[in-house]
Structure formats: C-alpha cells, structure tokens
Structure 1
C-alpha cells in the first residue's frame, strides 16, 4: 500500500536548472557513475524548482521512455518519484500549473510512468514504491482534463496488469472500477463536447499541440482526437479486464446497463487489435458469474453472434465467447436458440486470421454434444433451432458416412446432377422466378459432394443473392457466411463478402457491413467498384466514433 507523498514546496530555490544543463548531462561522455549521479540529482531538484523550460526536459524524457521502455537507467535514478511529485504539484497548485508551459507537465509525467511500466514488472514495483498510484488517481478523477485521464488510465492499467503491483492498485479498487466504467461509457461524448465539436479557435491550445505535436491542421487534430478517444475507451476496458481476469468487482462490471453498452464499444478500423467491448465480454465468458450475466441479456448474446459472423478482427473472440456459453450447462440452454443457428453457419470454418486451430470442429462438437437428448425431445428448443441442429447432424455426420461408402461413379453422378440443378437455378433467377431459384440451389447443395468446396461456395453465394432480392437479410447472411467459411480466410469469396455486406446494411448493422465492405474492397486491389465506395462511405459515416455524440448534441440544440 502506498503511503502519503510528502508535500512539495513551490518556492524557488537558489539552484538554477535548465534544459540545456540536463541535455548536456545526457550527451557528455563522462564517467558513467558521475553521469548517473548528476541525472539523479537533477530529477530530485526538478519538482522543487519553478523553471519555464521544464516542459522541454519532460518532452525529452518522454521520447526516451517511448523509445527505450526497457532501459533501467532512468527508473533506477528516481524518475518515478520525480514524475509523481510533478503530477501532484500540477493537481494541487493551479497557479503553478497555468504558469509558463507547465500545463503540459502532468501529461508527460503520467505518459513516462506508463511507458516504463508497460513490460517490466520490476519497473512497475519501483513505480509503486515511488508513490505514483495516488497522483495517477487524481488525474483519473478528471482533475485536469480528458487528455491527462488517457495517460493516467494507461499507466494504471500497466500497473494492474502485473501480479507484483496489482495489490497496490487494488487498494483503490471500487473507485478505479467505477471511474473506468464511467469513462468507458462517456468518454466519446466528453471528447466530442470538449474538443471535436468545437471550432478550432475554441479548442484548448495545449490539447491541440499535444495531439499534433505542433504540426497543426484541423484535419490532423480531428483524426488524432478520434484516435485518442478510442484509446481512452480501450484503456478503460483494459483496466477493467485486469480486475475481471482476477474475478474482482464482478458485481460492478456485470451490471446490465454496462454489459449492453459494451456491445457498442468498438476499437474501430484504425485500432483493429485494440481492447474493445468484445474482448471484455470474452473475459467475462470465462467466469461463471460473467457467463450467467451475459446469458440473461439477449441483446449482448446477439451482439456476439453478429461479430462471430463478420470480417471483424475480433471474430475469434466472439466465437470463443459463444462456445464458452454453450459449454456451461447452466447457460447452455438459455442461449441455444439464439446461438446455435449462428454457429451452425461456421462449422466449416477451418481457421481465423492468426488462429490456426480447427474452429469448425470445435463448434460442431459443442453444438452436437447432447444431440441425442434433442432428438428424443428431452430438451425444449425452438423448431428453428432443432431443424438447424438436425441439418448439422446430417451434414457433418450422416452425409460424411454416406459419401465415404459411395463409389467414384456415384460421386461423379451426384456432381453432374448438382451442376444441372445449379444451371436451372440460375436460369430461374434471371427469369425473375427467385423463389424457384432458391429451391433449385437448395437441391443442388443437397447433392453436391462435400469435398467440392468451390462448387458449394458458389451455390451458397448464389442462394444468398436470391435471399437479398427477397429481402430476407438473415438467410442471406447465413448463406454468405457459409460460402466464406468454405472459401477460407486467405482468399475469401469476394461476391459473398459483398452480398453479406448488403445484408448487414439491410438489417442496420453498419459496423458489420463496413468490415465486410472493406474486406471486399481489399480483394479488388486498386480497382474499387463505385458501388462499394458508396457503401463504404455510408457505413463509415454511420460508424464514425463520434456519430452518437454528434447526434446527442444536435438533439440538445433542437430542444433549446
């Protein structure tokens, strides 16, 4: 546990420090022990002296920490104590904070702490022993602005991620959890109201300079603000995950309103690998209380289902979450009617980007684990779910057995008849008889040998197009997903991507539509179809990070 940081005198001393002095110490080729002693002395004196050039030293230290976060030199010379005192000084002495360029100092100080504690537990232990947690908490409370909250969250999340320093963060558990939840839910509105939604002349100058490093430009400011707002939300979620992984404060994290809000917390296409709402939901699905809470919220389960059948980089997280819900006997039949039809579309998925295990086989196993009970009506499920499980049993068990017993001649006959039916289906479609085309494509799929993956891709994709024309978005998504599973991740079937993107758009699922559209565009190289560009722009506007905040502000103005 931390003890109280000693009060810091704000009076000037007779000693003069300046940035040139500090950088001279760094650049001189002198005795290493002398150099270390001088750096240590400088760091000790820095919080005691009011110097307008401190911000230049902090900026230099920030660059060093970012470039060499594993270098033990500065952590061993008292940099954490120095940064903690500077943050406390900025929070408690507003007159000092607003003098010269001191407003930048708390930001850089918290950023330096976070950079040095990202990987090394021993650095994190030094930071805790240097009393950094309480000053960081002051920034987390919003004592200055959202910009400092972002780097404070980052630093606290790193401290919470290490076993050696988690206890020091846990001391303030309830406050941290409540603050992280509040920031995750409100930060996008906050950044929009305090920065993005303002005219350039009304924005805080130091915010603008920190965001663009002095390069300026409205477009760059907005782009960086969007990136930082996303990071602010993501660091909040990561900090919550650090507690959830240890099964701490689940009563706070698993509140219904927050779990529903998590569904909309998306890292965005600029942060495809960042912590997001789906990742926290995945963590909770590995915990009994988390699974039971999520299983009771159909909206959350449906969100996981949508991501599991999309081109989102987090697809594997959603699938893993759904599998966890199905493997738990307590939650299995609470979610089966929603989850089974969706996962049934993924049974021929062989791998996911970066995940080379047999995803489809895992799904088949968990869906059919107690199929005999379902067959004997010992389990109450909807007719639609029962039918999908029967189809899955026939596809992955009975049909496999039948085709193994067939001769080469019989297989070829089925293949030929399937081709005839496919051609008839296409003829019906172009004649405007779409429902009859669906029947023909379905008959062709029933006959087409399982090993003919390419042929089955086309049949599922063609049937998806029929469902699009019939305005049956869910069936179109199902068939397009099955086609994409068969085609594989390395070379996804482009037509199926586009058709699923259209179907998602039809259902109002902008994020899923955008990700499929983006993946479709990537398959086209430099030649982007006009219709795809139109849809891409439409979905980008709908999924813009601040779209909701902008809409709320507009509604407030209308009421006024």
Structure 2
C-alpha cells in the first residue's frame, strides 16, 4: 500500500509550524516576528491563528510566554485596525478577529498582575483599543469581551492607574451597558427574525453545534454576562478608588462622578438617607459619604438638597418638591445667617454680649428643670431659645444646649432631629475628645430610626471615649446591650441559618 506524505507548509511565517519548533530560542524568535507581522499583513489564516491563540489563552492564562513576545501589542493593533478599516473587517473571516483579540487580552490579564502591567505598557496600548469596543463600535459581542478585559485590568493595582485615566468615560459606559445590555441584545439578536441575525454572532454563540434553541439560550447567557462584566468593571473602580467599601458606599460615590449616575442615585430616597446617616456617624466611611453628598449637591439638576438640609434644621421643607435653585438658595441663606450672626456679634458691645451669656446660663438651668419635671416639649423650646441667643464663642454651652435638645427629641420620638442636634454638638466638640453624651444620644437616635450600623459605630465610639476617661474602666450595661443588639442586627449571615434549617427539614 502506497503512503503519501502530507503536503509541507511553505509559509515561513506560519504560526502553527512555529509552535512545533523544537528549539526554544528559534521558536520564540519566530513567534515574536509573527506577532509583529500579523497586523501589517492580510491572510485568510489570521482568523485561525487568533482562534488558536484564544484556545491557548483560555486553557493557560498564566503562561507569560506569548505576552512577553509582543502578543498584547499585536491584539491591540488588530482591534484598532478593525475599527478603522471596515473593508478589511468585512473581508474573509476577519469579522471574528476583534472578538478573539479582546478575549485573548482578557484571559492573560485575568490572574497575574505582572501580565496586566505588561498589557497596559505604552507599547501595547490595549486600554484605548478595548475602550473602542466598549463604546459599541462593532457590536455587543465585542463589547462583552472588552468589558471582561477592562474589568480584569481595573482589578489589579499595577494596571489600574492606566485604566483610571479613562475613568469618567468607562464609568459612564459601564452604567449605560449595565442598564441597557439585555434590551440591546434582545433588540439586535433575540427579538429579530433568524434571517436577520448576524451570521458571525450565531457562529460564535453555538460553534456550529445545536439548533435555534441552543443559539437563543447562549445569546441570553451572553447578554447577562455582558451586564455582569460591566457591573464588575464598575465595581472594580469603586473598590480601587475607595478600597473596601461597606454597603457599596464607594460604588455609589463612583456612580455620582457621572451626570447619569447622580440622577439615578438622587432618585432613590433610601440611598440619600443612608448617605446622610453615614456622613453623621462615627463610621470610618463617613468621609466618603460626605464626598458623595457634595457631588450631588453641586449638580444643579439633582434634587436631593431637601434631605441633606435636614442637618441644618430645614425639615420644614420636608414633603415639598424644591427645585435646585430653591435648594441652593436655602443653602446660601443658611450661610448668610451664620455670617450675619458673626457680624452682629462683632457690632455688639461687651455689655450686651455679657447679658446674653448670663441669659444663656439661666436658660440652660430652666431647660434642665423643666426636663426633670417631665415637661419635655417646654424644655426643648427653652433650649431652642438658648441656642438662638448663645454667642458663638460659648462653644461648650452650645454643645450642651444642642445635646440636651437632642435628648428631648429622642423622648419625643423625633429621631431625625435628635441625630441632627447631636451631630451639631459633636461638630462643636473636639475631634480627639468628642462629647460622650452626644455620641450615646445619636446612637440611640439611629437605633430608633433603624440605622443599625450607624448606631453601632456611635455606641462603640461612646464606649471608647468613656473608657478613656472613666475610673471604673467598665462598659455600662446599657451600652453593652446596645452593642449586642446592633451586632446581631448587622451580622452578615442573618437569617441564613434559619432558612437552612427550614430547607433541611
């Protein structure tokens, strides 16, 4: 029986032949040359090479060999070529190339930070290339691969700096994709006639296996993945910028850096109230919450000021729909009141100021007496008069007046007022030596409102302050009870154990 030799490959730049080279030095040299040549040449075999590289990248994502030989530069150039040259993209099977290229990048930067750092090197230029795909320059299929790759790049310390140069646009695009990806996939693929579907989409989804049902299931799966990868990318920014972010505060701040994000966040009253609570608590993340509220307040198109102004005793606006101009005018009025008060006090004679000081001392005593008699509303009114008359230089007295009025609000079940007053007292007291009673009263107010985490943080700060200055060095029973209560309420696995028991039963 005659044996015929297989036809020999005559292409000196054949990727598959180079992979078979036994000499490691010659092999690497050939592959490096091929990666440089592919973007500059045209060949029907390029899509086969990309498909092979995709399989290798998926199975061996941590192998640094190909990235060290110029793979990232090659993939980046191919993506940019796909965007700029539509004639080339639609020729032969080139339409598959940008999808494979983005996926190859994403696989190699998935686990290893050093590979991610190599990918964002100035020579590789992968981030701008991937960003073009994320913008939807080709289709949602490439967009999915780009979101995956950028999400992995944003998750590494060494590569995040380069990705963050495009933060504003990436965050905006990620939000848009997360909210519209499923609709987009349905309108462009699932919801159209079979004949109108892009053939290369069908081929990518099914790999030639399965019928229409498999195709639809895969398209739905990919649409959900596109949404998930865009959220992952968004969250990577939040975690990088804000480190660990309990309750998603860092993510909310990141969202509020864009116009659309501020609009969406401002529409959810619970989120705004959560930010207000956090910004007034002893939580380590109060600064992030404050920054987020400032981003919202600076946007003239956002209507959240009426909630934020509760801290300034503008609750009378509650229930009214103020436009942004009215809200900002209210803020300006408050500032003017503070400035005007300083001006007035400067114009007062020392005799007038001394009269006020004596009156405030008397009002403090009157308020305390009425409170002890159970006349809580009357006591609150007296404290209010005292606050209005108290000169700005009587800081300690103002602390006590606000704190005592907060106690009255607590008894009257006015938690928001109590939080606001105790916050004012704490702002007036020293950061290193906060007013203990105000911490405890605000903890109670948060508990009354149902804000368990904020209540816990204030209670812990209260205990810390008390142990620092108390001779007994013992935690008061009432504080220990509050800590136990809030620890139980904020436990991450709350309710899971009971659900498990029910399912086991």
Deviation, structure 1 residue 313: 2.5
Partners of 1:160 and 1:242 within 8 A in 2: no
Partners of 1:341 and 1:385 within 8 A in 2: no
Give the Cα separation in 1 of the matches to 2:310 and 2:115.
42
Partners of 1:464 and 1:477 within 8 A in 2: yes
Does the alignment pair 1:518 with 2:460?
yes
Q: Please name the residue that 1:245 is paired with.
A: 168
Partners of 1:418 and 1:448 within 8 A in 2: yes
Q: Please name the residue that 2:79 is paired with.
A: none
Deviations, residues 95-116 of structure 1 (Å, cap 9, x unaligned): xxxxxxxxxxx8xx69x9xxxx
Does the alignment pair 1:497 with 2:420?
no
Deviation, structure 1 residue 543: 2.4
Residue pairs, 1:423-438, within 5 angstroms:
423-438=365-380
Structure index of larger Rg: 2
Partners of 1:497 and 1:517 within 8 A in 2: yes
Distance 1:425 1:390, change over 3 A: farther
Partners of 2:130 and 2:150 within 8 A in 1: no
Deviations, residues 131-152 of structure 1 (Å, cap 9, x unaligned): 9985784599xxxxxxxx8x67
Partners of 2:73 and 2:126 within 8 A in 1: no
Distance 1:301 1:380, change over 3 A: closer
Distance 1:175 1:510, change over 3 A: farther
Partners of 1:307 and 1:512 within 8 A in 2: yes
Deviations, residues 183-209 of structure 1 (Å, cap 9, x unaligned): 9xxxxxxxxxxxxxxxxxxxxxxxxxx
Tell me which of 294, 310, 321 is aligned to 1:323: 294
Deviation, structure 1 residue 408: 1.0
Residue pairs, 1:322-471, within 5 angstroms:
322-331=293-302, 334-342=303-311, 344=312, 380=322, 392=334, 395-471=337-413
Partners of 2:57 and 2:104 within 8 A in 1: no
Give the Cα separation in 1 of the matches to 2:388 and 2:403.
15
Give the Cα separation in 1 of the matches to 2:328 and 2:129.
51
Alignment gaps of 5+ in structure 2? 1-14, 29-53, 76-100, 135-142, 181-226, 236-240
Distance 1:392 1:153, change over 3 A: farther
Residue pairs, 1:188-227, within 5 angstroms:
none
Distance 1:517 1:153, change over 3 A: farther
Q: Kindly report the root-mean-square deviation, in angstroms, between the aligned alpha carbons of the 2 structures.
A: 5.6
For normalisation by structure 2, the TM-score amounts to 0.56
Deviation, structure 1 residue 523: 2.0
Q: Please name the residue that 1:92 is paired with.
A: 59
Does the alignment pair 1:534 with 2:457?
no
Give the Cα separation in 1 of the matches to 2:448 and 2:340.
35
For normalisation by structure 1, the TM-score amounts to 0.51
Q: Please name the residue that 1:558 is paired with.
A: 502
Give the Cα separation in 2 of the matches to 1:557 and 1:444.
57
Give the Cα separation in 2 of the matches to 1:493 and 1:389.
27
Deviation, structure 1 residue 508: 1.2
Give the Cα separation in 1 of the matches to 2:404 and 2:167.
44
Give the Cα separation in 1 of the matches to 2:161 and 2:457.
23
Partners of 2:131 and 2:146 within 8 A in 1: no
Q: Please name the residue that 1:279 is paired with.
A: 250
Give the Cα separation in 1 of the matches to 2:403 and 2:293.
25
- Which has the bigger relative contact order, CA under 8 A and spacing at least 6? 1
Distance 1:272 1:175, change over 3 A: closer
Deviation, structure 1 residue 416: 0.9
The alignment partner of 1:330 has SS state of coil
Partners of 1:180 and 1:240 within 8 A in 2: no
The alignment partner of 2:413 has SS state of coil
Deviations, residues 211-234 of structure 1 (Å, cap 9, x unaligned): xxxxxxxxxxxxxxxxxxxxx9x9
The alignment partner of 2:444 has SS state of helix
